[in-house]
């Protein structure tokens, strides 16, 4: 898939597996994953959003795929190792906007989003992202509109705007400079390089944070924030590709998002406990693996699925309580029905009530629902208990 030609890395799009889509136009080919690809190979991480020409040379590139803390085991292990050994780890702010990839293609400036070739998608009657990016660049960073300005690399910005709100509110439109990728070898520019570019051309460079070196302390600190979180950047000696064209990353990036942001994100996209209960029941999910598989089918992202696992644990605990009560009530009802009792309905019910009184407040109503043949009430009671998040029986 990857090879080196004339000292530059190239991509053979014919060798890309079907989990990725290729959009071809004007001699350029955008490669990006189909919705919510999960099983990323290391060599595929640069296919998150990359544009190559007919010869396979890179002309535009977003970040390589990087995940949340704990999402990709190898990246998380690298971060933990770097923190333990006091290696270079930089914590930059995680902005809550839309990625803008600024590149020069065929001597023309292109400012695109991750999933587009030219930033062209927009709702009917609305501005495209390319139009929005262009307006901000013209007003604040005109150098970006010059095709002679760094044509050898893609400059990465986070577009933020009061009208482009994800979760966090921003007061004005801006392009926040977050990184750069050199096309010939897919090297991620170092922080000093970014600082120099920002200082020289007046870019709004993403801010940095000073945080502890213990991962658990970092997560605890970030969880106190209202903002989205951080990107931990582990910097190693530059080396873009190996002897067989295999890309060797010079930096490892890991996201750590705040609990407050994740909660707001879940609310925004309806990942509530009640929603989760309905999803589990309708999908007849019986274990966490089923849950994850079903959520992936519906294009939920990693952060949302990670939150869903916590909600599923709460559901499972509550369901176990009520299902145990149903089992006990059913056993008691069957034993009573099989025993020799008076045919007098009043005396028989009183005898049944004495048996039921030996059990707790959750078992008793289930027993009487069984006695009266109103099994539909049991389903309603089960749902009520589960929606109450499994409060312990008194």
Domains defined along the chain, listed by start: 63-257 (3.30.470.30), 269-387 (no CATH)
Spatial separation of the C-alpha atoms in residues 224 and 207, rounded to whole Å: 18
Q: Is the pLDDT at 64 greater than 60, yes or no?
A: yes
Mean of pLDDT values over 336-350: 83
Most confident by average pLDDT, 38-47, 219-228, 247-256, 293-302 = 38-47
Q: Is the pLDDT at 380 greater than 90, yes or no?
A: no
Lowest mean pLDDT, pick from 39-43, 240-244, 247-251, 293-297 = 240-244
Spatial separation of the C-alpha atoms in residues 321 and 39, rounded to whole Å: 35
Altogether, the residues listed in the chain come to a count of 394
Q: Is the pLDDT at 282 greater than 80, yes or no?
A: no
Spatial separation of the C-alpha atoms in residues 380 and 388, rounded to whole Å: 12
CB 283 within 8 A of CB 315: no
Mean of pLDDT values over 361-369: 91
pLDDT digits (tens, 9 = 90+) for 150-172: 999 999 999 999 877 666 678 89
Spatial separation of the C-alpha atoms in residues 80 and 70, rounded to whole Å: 11
Most confident by average pLDDT, 56-60, 305-309, 362-366 = 56-60
Confidence of residue 10 (pLDDT cuts 50, 70, 90): very high
Which of 355, 324, 323 has the alpha carbon at shortest distance from 338? 355
Quick one: pLDDT at residue 125?
A: 54
CB 265 within 8 A of CB 247: no
**Sheet strand arrangement including 28-33:** 20-25, 28-33, 50-53, 58-61
Mean of pLDDT values over 36-40: 76
Mean of pLDDT values over 69-82: 87
Most confident by average pLDDT, 31-35, 68-72, 364-368 = 364-368
Quick one: pLDDT at residue 67?
A: 87
Confidence of residue 223 (pLDDT cuts 50, 70, 90): confident
Confidence of residue 32 (pLDDT cuts 50, 70, 90): very high
Q: Is the pLDDT at 366 greater than 60, yes or no?
A: yes
**Mean pLDDT for all residues in the chain:** 85
Residue 238 phi/psi, 5-degree rounding, is -60, 135
pLDDT digits (tens, 9 = 90+) for 107-146: 999 999 988 998 875 454 567 889 999 999 999 999 999 9
CB 177 within 8 A of CB 133: no
Confidence of residue 254 (pLDDT cuts 50, 70, 90): very high
Quick one: pLDDT at residue 239?
A: 41
Which positions ≥6 away from 331 have C-beta within 8 Å?
none
Quick one: pLDDT at residue 126?
A: 64
Q: What is the pTM of this model?
A: 0.69
Give the rounded percent of residues in the chain with a pLDDT score beyond 90: 47
Q: Is the pLDDT at 391 greater than 60, yes or no?
A: no
Q: Is the pLDDT at 394 greater than 60, yes or no?
A: no
Q: What is the 3-state secondary structure (H, E, C) of the chain?
A: CEEEECCEEEECHHHCCCCEEEEEECCEEEEEECCCCCCCCHHHHHHHCEEEECCCEEEEECCCCCCECCCCHHHHHHHHHHHHCCCCEEEEEECCCEEEEEEEECCEEEEECCCCCCCCCCCCCCCCHHHHHHHHHHHHCHHHHCCCCCCCEEEEEEEECCCCCCCCCCCCCEEEEEEEEECCCCEECCHHHHHHHHHHHCCEECCEECCCCCHHHHHHHHHCCCCCEEEEEEECCCCCECCCCCECCCEEEEEEECHHHHHHHHHHCCCCHHHHHHHHHHCCCCCHHHHHHHHHHCCCCHHHHHHHHHHHHHHHHHHHHHHHHHHHHHHHHHHHHHCCCCCCHHHHHHHHHHHHCCCCCCHHHHHHHHHCCCHHHHHHHHHHHHHCCCCCCC
Mean of pLDDT values over 339-346: 79
CB 316 within 8 A of CB 386: no
CA-based torsion, 378, 383, 388, 392: positive or negative: positive
Quick one: pLDDT at residue 69?
A: 87
């Amino acid at each position: 898939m990857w090879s080196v030609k004339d000292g530059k890395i190239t991509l053979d799009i014919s060798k890309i597996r079907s989990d990725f889509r290729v959009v071809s136009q004007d001699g350029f080919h955008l490669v990006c994953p189909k919705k919510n690809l999960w099983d990323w190979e290391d060599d595929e991480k640069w296919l998150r959003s990359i544009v190559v020409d007919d010869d396979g040379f890179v002309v535009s590139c977003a970040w390589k795929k990087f995940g949340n803390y704990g999402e990709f085991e190898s990246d998380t292990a690298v971060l933990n190792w770097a923190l333990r050994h006091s290696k270079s780890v930089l914590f930059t702010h995680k902005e809550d906007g839309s990625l803008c990839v600024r590149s020069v293609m065929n001597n023309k400036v292109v400012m695109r989003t991750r999933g587009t070739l030219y930033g062209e998608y927009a709702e009917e009657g609305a501005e495209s992202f390319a139009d929005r990016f262009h307006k901000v660049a013209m007003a604040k960073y005109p150098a970006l509109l010059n095709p002679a300005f760094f044509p050898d690399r893609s400059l990465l910005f986070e577009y933020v705007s009061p009208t482009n709100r994800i979760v966090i509110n921003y007061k004005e439109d801006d392009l926040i400079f977050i990184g750069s990728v050199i096309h010939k070898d897919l090297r991620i520019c170092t922080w000093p390089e970014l600082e120099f570019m920002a200082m020289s051309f007046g870019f709004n460079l993403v801010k940095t944070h000073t945080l502890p070196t213990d991962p658990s302390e970092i997560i605890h600190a970030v969880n106190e924030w209202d903002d989205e979180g951080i990107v931990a950047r582990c910097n190693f000696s530059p080396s873009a590709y190996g002897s067989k064209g295999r890309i060797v990353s010079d930096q490892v990036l890991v996201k750590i998002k705040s609990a407050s942001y994740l909660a707001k994100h879940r609310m925004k996209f309806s990942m509530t406990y009640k929603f989760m209960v309905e999803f589990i029941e309708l999908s007849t999910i019986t274990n966490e693996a089923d849950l994850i598989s079903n959520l992936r089918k519906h294009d939920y992202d990693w952060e949302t699925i990670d939150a869903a696992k916590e909600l599923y644990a709460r559901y499972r605990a509550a369901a176990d309580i009520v299902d145990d009560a149903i089992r006990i009530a059913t056993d008691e009802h069957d034993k009573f029905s099989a025993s020799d009792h008076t045919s007098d309905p009043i005396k028989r019910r009183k005898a049944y009530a004495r048996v039921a009184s030996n059990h707790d407040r959750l078992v008793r109503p289930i027993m009487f629902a069984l006695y009266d043949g109103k099994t539909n009430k049991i389903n309603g009671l089960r749902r009520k208990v589960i929606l109450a998040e499994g409060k312990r029986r008194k």
